[in-house]
């Protein structure tokens, strides 16, 4: 093996494989360091046009995730498009997955599970604050380093390209046992889906099996996730209450990831080690490619010392709040697209701040901050604006989209409608653009007051 990618990264050995990707250990000859390269490849069953669309999305999402720098998240260094292939360059991390750790040592005690889970929650909390959704939190994507600390891996390139894991039992796509109920019913979920998946991951670390067990029939497993309650944990100890909240069927009833981080930081005393027993963490049977109830589940990844990123998904959970309109001050949209105009309502209403945070050929990422300017809590909100010509909304997270040309309206999702006085929440979206634009849109924010 003596291939040099982009004149810089020399491939050393293959360390992982998926249906549409190969992961290489490589040396960055410019900085003299080991890195991991995830090379995106065309699957035999995917036509060329679909492959290039998937690659474009994967590259775009990798660039977004590269903005995240956290001690407990595997770092994305670079994204390369070279000689008809796309590569994501990541931190190379000598480690083993939480799956391997549990298989080798048996289930963890509550103290160790809380410590590792708190580290992962801190990284996911930072990602959520930056508008980045993981969408595939599983024991395979929690990497435990040689010094015993945890890092979250694979922020979604595998999901973007429909990637898969090669195991002894064949081709595996998706890890059904860890998807949230709202995802299992056909939605793509939002930040609460990450909370659920982390809860299911910690449950597995403590119990040796996912909350709804495993099943050779993935549709039956999906049915249990959607309609049944998880089996109460027997070995979670002081973590039982935290897990119960994280695994709640209603996304709005789950704690935010920042709260999960705080809850897991409380010291937990582990009981005496339990005798080893056969572990049923999902490593094959229940991790499959599923098309059920109108949803194709996201991809899992093999235990590997590397990771890849993801952009936030479209949120489909709705809220039935009725919103009343308040007056807003107008802003002349004359600044360039990189500027950040803010439209502020009167002191009884809310304000909305629109910011283009990242741009690429044919698109942008936008974050919108919705702030409660009043002295009483809001129970819901909507933000609307006239869509600029040639600009479309491709993905939305943390809100519900209602586009009726020429107006785009976003209303709160089920879990983020309430905004306390002088506080704010953020939603985001990806835009498609067919040409340059000279100004950002003028926003109108309409609140609903808490009864």
d(CA 271, CA 91): 35
DSSP string covering 219-258: HHHHHHHHHSPPPPPSS-GGGHHHHHHHT-SSGGGSPPHH
> Across-strand partners of 409?
384, 402
* Secondary structure of 57-115 in HEC code, one letter for each residue: HHHHHHHHHCCCCCCCECCEEEEEEECCEEEEEEECCCEEEHHHHHHHHCCCCHHHHHH
Select which of 43, 136, 163, 194 is catalytic.
136
> Across-strand partners of 39?
22, 87
- Sheet architecture: strand order including 21-28: 4-5, 9-17, 21-28, 33-40, 85-91, 76-82
Active site residue 136: yes
Listed in order, strand segments (DSSP E) in 338-414 are: 342-344, 350-360, 363-372, 378-386, 391-397, 400-404, 407-411
Closest CA to 444 of 334, 347, 330: 330
d(CA 299, CA 295): 12
Q: Are 411 and 319 in contact (CB under 8 A)?
A: yes
Catalytic amino acids? Answer: 136
């Amino acid at each position: 093996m003596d291939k040099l990618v982009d004149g810089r990264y020399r491939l050393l050995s293959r360390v992982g494989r998926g249906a549409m990707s190969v992961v290489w250990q490589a040396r960055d000859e410019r900085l003299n360091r080991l890195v991991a390269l995830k090379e995106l490849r065309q699957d035999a069953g995917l036509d060329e046009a679909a492959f290039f669309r998937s690659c474009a999305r994967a590259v775009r999402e990798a660039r977004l995730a590269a903005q995240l720098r956290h001690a407990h998240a595997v770092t994305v260094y670079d994204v390369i498009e070279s000689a008809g292939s796309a590569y994501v360059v990541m931190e190379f991390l000598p480690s083993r997955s939480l799956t391997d750790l549990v298989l080798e040592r048996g289930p963890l005690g509550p103290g160790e599970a809380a410590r590792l889970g708190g580290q992962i929650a801190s990284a996911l909390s930072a990602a959520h604050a930056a508008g980045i959704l993981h969408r595939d939190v599983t024991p395979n994507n929690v990497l435990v380093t040689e010094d015993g600390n945890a890092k979250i891996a694979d922020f979604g390139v595998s999901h973007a390209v429909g990637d898969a894991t090669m195991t002894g039992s064949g081709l595996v796509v998706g890890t059904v046992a860890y998807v949230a109920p709202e995802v299992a019913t056909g939605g793509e979920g939002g930040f609460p889906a990450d909370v659920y998946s982390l809860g299911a991951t910690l449950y597995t670390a403590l119990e040796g099996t996912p909350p709804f067990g495993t099943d050779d029939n993935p549709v039956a497993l999906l049915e249990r996730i959607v309609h049944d309650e998880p089996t109460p944990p027997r070995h979670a100890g002081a973590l039982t209450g935290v897990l119960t909240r994280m695994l709640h069927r209603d996304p709005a009833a789950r704690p935010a990831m920042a709260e999960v981080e705080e809850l897991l930081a409380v010291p937990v005393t582990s009981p005496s080690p339990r005798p080893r027993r056969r572990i049923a963490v999902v490593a094959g049977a229940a991790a499959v490619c599923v098309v059920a109830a109108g949803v194709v589940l996201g991809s899992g990844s093999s235990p590997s010392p590397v990771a890849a990123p993801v952009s936030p998904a479209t949120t489909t959970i709705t809220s039935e709040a009725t919103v009343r309109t308040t007056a807003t001050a107008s802003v002349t949209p004359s600044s360039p697209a990189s500027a950040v105009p803010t439209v502020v309502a009167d002191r009884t209403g809310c304000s909305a701040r629109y910011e283009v945070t990242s741009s690429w050929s044919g698109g942008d990422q936008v974050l919108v901050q919705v702030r409660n300017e009043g002295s009483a809590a809001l129970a819901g909100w909507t933000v609307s604006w006239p869509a600029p010509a040639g600009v479309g909304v491709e993905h939305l997270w943390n809100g519900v989209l209602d586009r009726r040309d020429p107006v785009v309206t976003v209303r709160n999702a089920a879990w983020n409608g309430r905004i306390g006085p002088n506080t704010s929440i953020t939603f985001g979206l990806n835009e498609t653009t067919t040409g340059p634009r000279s100004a950002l849109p003028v926003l109108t924010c309409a609140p609903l007051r808490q009864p």
